């Protein structure tokens, strides 16, 4: 039976089940009730991925890499450079909102988001190699 991994790196092992939610040993991941959540971080089943297959990060979860540029007041040498952009690794399926959270930029500070030079919204799912640019509410571009 296949193991599944959460974004927080918890691994569901069917051999063990999940005693914290009364899941007996021998329960395949597919048979877990829809109400089951990650016992460590509370994420739903849909955020889990199979432990094998696909290129993966060190933790086993598939990732993508994007380049992020920040304009004006959002500039930050460490997390979001203005000149060349800063590379960030994200879990596959992450959207702009997830990226902004990772950068620890308050959502309300961002006015316009560009992905590959097109204006997009926060729900836009990012792909490997995307170029993301964030522009604040005020300040020159």
Task: Enumerate binding residues for Fe ion (CB under 5 A).
Answer: 6, 8, 10, 38, 40-41, 43
Strand 49-50, strand 11-12: pairing: unpaired
Nearer to Fe ion, 6 or 66 (CB): 6
Nearer to Fe ion, 38 or 113 (CB): 38
CB 5 → Fe ion: shortest distance, Å? 9
Q: Which SS3 state, helix, strand or coil, does residue 20 take?
A: helix
Least Cα distance to 81 among 131, 138, 137 occurs for: 131
Residue 90 CA to residue 78 CA, distance in Å, equals 16
Contact call for residues 6 and 13 (beta carbons, < 8 A): no
Nearer to Fe ion, 8 or 125 (CB): 8
CB 26 → Fe ion: shortest distance, Å? 22
CB 21 → Fe ion: shortest distance, Å? 13
Nearer to Fe ion, 47 or 114 (CB): 47
CB 35 → Fe ion: shortest distance, Å? 15
Contact call for residues 23 and 17 (beta carbons, < 8 A): yes
Residue 4: which H helix or E strand, with range?
strand 4-5
């Amino acid at each position: 039976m296949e193991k599944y991994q959460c974004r927080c790196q918890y691994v569901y092992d069917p051999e063990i089940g999940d005693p914290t939610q009364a899941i007996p040993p021998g329960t395949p991941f597919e048979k877990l009730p829809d109400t089951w959540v990650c016992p460590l971080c509370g994420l739903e089943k849909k955020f889990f991925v199979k432990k094998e297959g696909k290129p993966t990060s060190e933790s086993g979860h598939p990732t993508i890499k994007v380049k992020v540029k920040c304009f004006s007041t959002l500039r930050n040498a460490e997390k979001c450079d203005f000149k060349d952009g800063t590379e960030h690794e994200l879990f596959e399926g992450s959207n702009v909102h997830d990226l902004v959270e990772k950068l620890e930029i308050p959502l309300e500070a961002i006015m316009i988001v560009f992905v590959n030079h097109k204006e997009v919204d926060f729900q836009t799912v990012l792909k490997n190699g995307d170029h993301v640019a964030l522009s604040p509410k005020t300040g020159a571009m």
